[in-house]
Amino acid sequence: MGLLRLMALAALASQPGVAGGAETIGNSSVGITEFSVGKFRYFKLSRPFPEEAILRNISSNVTFLIFQIHSQYQNTTISFSKTFLPSTSATGTDKGLVFILRPEQSMCFWYMEALDAEPVQNVAIPLSYSERDPIPGGCNLEFDLDIDPNIYLEYDFFETTIKFAPANLGYARGTESPPCDIKTGQDTRWRLLYDVYQYFLPENDLTEEALLKHLQRMAEVPHVTANAIKVVTLTANDKTSVSFSSLRGQGVIYNVIVWDPVLNTSAAYVPTHTYACRLEAMEGSCSSLGRASTKVFFTLFALLGFFICFFGHRFWKTELFFIGFIFMGFFFYILITRLTPIKYDVRLILTAVAGSIGGIFLVAAWWRFGILTLCMLCVGLVLGFLISSVTFFTPLGNLTIFSNDDVFWVTFSGIAVLIPVVFMSCLRMLNILACGFVGSYSVVLAVDSYMYTSLSYITLNVLKRALSTHFRSAFTNVPFQTNEQEEGRERNIDRPPLQAPNQGAAY
């Protein structure tokens, strides 16, 4: 068997061809999967034996390669050798390795292995770069690999954080790599810039096919810049970590493009993805976004809001109960969440009770004292809260100045208070607008407990900001997609043709 393997490798090395040209076909008879530069390949990995991969006919002007492999949620390990050590391998759903080529080297080998018992569907691609291109992760001091092009992602309910290792300047084959931290001048890696990109998958699409197809738009520099949203540009002096608002149930792909402003060259890190939830979980998975308690709470809330939207102005006391419920319930939920370790379901029940008390209190205040101005002030503040939330839901909310909590809350409160002040001379108009906007938005919140909707984050981002001190640094972008936009993305001619997964086929 060993002799047969050597003969197969010799035959592969002797065949002519151009890297990145023709379609690659895996040789399953000898356990070797063949790749071509710049060509995506679908394949499956199964336990228990690692599979060897080969890339041949590498051009002499290529100085380093980045091989990346992606799966939806099952981990895959790639390694420089058959011995899978932490310093020579990477394990995860979106992982890559950097191959620094030796002089005259025209062929690369590496190994791939699935960790789960079930076969893992993967898509992978090797990408080539020249000596002028920066090397992603070339100045890694934090992670296990010597050169680490991977983006490390963590998420919780509030935020999703990506981290990556600093890059280094490119260099020719057979020469020493430039030092990372001896100098900080313009002839060192400190001149490099990092553009962080975000790409949203189609809403409510959790399929493996969609993910692997759209990942192909985030692997190479031209496609990343053409299809994704540039969120921020970091300098070499900035911390290589960026936070985003977690969008549970919404697929998001992140990537970083390192750019050399002197040579005007760039290179892409290995893209990573998340749904901010676990696809394989039996309970609380991505397919069941809302708990039963959440669905009951917001369904009842939406029924009352729907009534207020159309008839609230005529049923004054019912509207006051609705406004008082929101006013008291919102602040009470923040208070018990920050101060107590009570479970979510109990918090929601207590919030419903507190909100009901607030609603009854506002109705009683009107019945006993009949002060219209005080009641309309509460109505105007709730409308002002919603309008202020919409204001910070726009790109305005991502301005650096609002990462300061004092500036954010003063501005937010100022907008909320401004609304009742502006409309105080026209209380009828204020009341009609409050019933329409606040009542209809309650229906949006109910829909979000059954399926993903971006509009729920208008107020959810404010709630996250009030509950988490770390959320102030998070970017709060959300997808806003229409059918026409998706069709346009599919027709983009700047992108290579995409095809459905087909084991053993590549393009």
**HEC per residue, 357-413:** HHHHHHHHHHHHHCCHHHHHHHHHHHHHHHHHHHHHHCHHHHCHHHHCHHHHHHHHH
Token pair, residue 36, equals 């071509």
Q: What pLDDT was estimated at residue 32?
A: 84
Q: What pLDDT was estimated at residue 287?
A: 66
Give dist(CA 66, CA 306) in Å, integer: 54
Q: What pLDDT was estimated at residue 268?
A: 98
Sign of CA dihedral 87, 89, 91, 93: positive
Q: State how far the alpha carbon of 445 is from the alpha carbons of 252, 335, 425, 456, 495, in Å.
A: 21, 21, 31, 6, 36
Cβ(112)–Cβ(50) under 8 Å?
yes
Sign of CA dihedral 348, 349, 355, 359: positive
Token pair, residue 54, equals 């080969």
Residue 398, judged by CB atoms within 10 A of its CB (0-12, 13-18, 19+), counts as: middle
Q: Could you tell me the pTM of the whole model? A: 0.87
Q: Which amino acid is at 22?
A: A
Tell me the pLDDT tens digit for each residue of 437-477: 999 999 999 998 888 889 999 999 999 999 999 999 999 99
Q: What pLDDT was estimated at residue 443?
A: 96
Strands (E), 261-331: 265-268, 272-274
Q: What pLDDT was estimated at residue 390?
A: 97
Cβ(57)–Cβ(19) under 8 Å?
yes
Q: Which residues of the chain have pLDDT under 50?
A: 1-30, 484, 491, 493-507
Q: Which amino acid is at 330?
A: F
Question: Pick from 38, 226, 221: which is nearest to 136 by CA?
Answer: 221
Q: What pLDDT was estimated at residue 50?
A: 82
Q: What pLDDT was estimated at residue 80?
A: 94
Q: What is the longest distance spanned by two Cα atoms in the chain?
A: 97
Chain position carrying tokens 């197809």:
213
Give dist(CA 336, CA 351) in Å, integer: 9
Token pair, residue 272, equals 């990573």
List the beta bridge partners of residue 230: 197
Q: What pLDDT was estimated at residue 494?
A: 43
Q: Which amino acid is at 97?
A: L
